[in-house]
Amino acid sequence: MIAMIQRVTDASVVVEGVTVGAIKSGLLVLLGVEKGDTDKQSQRLAEKVLAYRIFSDQDGKMNLNVQQAGGQLLVISQFTLVADTKKGNRPGFSNGAEPAEAERLYQLFSEQCRQLNCHVENGIFAADMQVTSTNDGPTTFWLQV
């Protein structure tokens, strides 16, 4: 399971002209689910995302996590994160979980973050989404469990 996280000042997702999720300050989480990923990995990744200290403290150092900084999450499913790009000029997606399992784990990850007392907004699984964000820093990290 992979999470590409970006510290943002705002982020939103639009599907068919309708905003389905939006946050102010927080993390844009692009989530990729691979074959063999488990509920336990989802829980570990949720805990890691929420604990990751990439927000500035009063001294300007990255010492605060998203909740300490008063931020929220916008979680977007993104199967392209699990693409095999080692050979050729076209990505391979054989590493990706089957759609039903990927959606289940995507929803589970979001719910686990909510259970850890974080406000979570979502895109729509497998939809054609337009995601807009203002990356703060820019600050982007790749987390994998």
Contact between residue 121 and residue 132 where contact means Cβ atoms under 8 Å apart: no
Residue 79 confidence class, pLDDT cut points 50, 70, 90: very high
Catalytic positions, written as ranges: 78-80
DSSP letter for 100, please.
H
Give pLDDT tens digits for 26-50.
999 999 999 999 999 999 999 999 9
Contact between residue 43 and residue 33 where contact means Cβ atoms under 8 Å apart: no
| Average pLDDT estimate for 108-126 | 98
- Domains of the chain are 2-144 (3.50.80.10)
Instruction: Tell whether omega for the bond before 91 is within 30 degrees of 0, i.e. cis.
Output: no
42: left (phi over 0), alpha (psi -120 to 50) or beta: alpha
pTM: 0.96
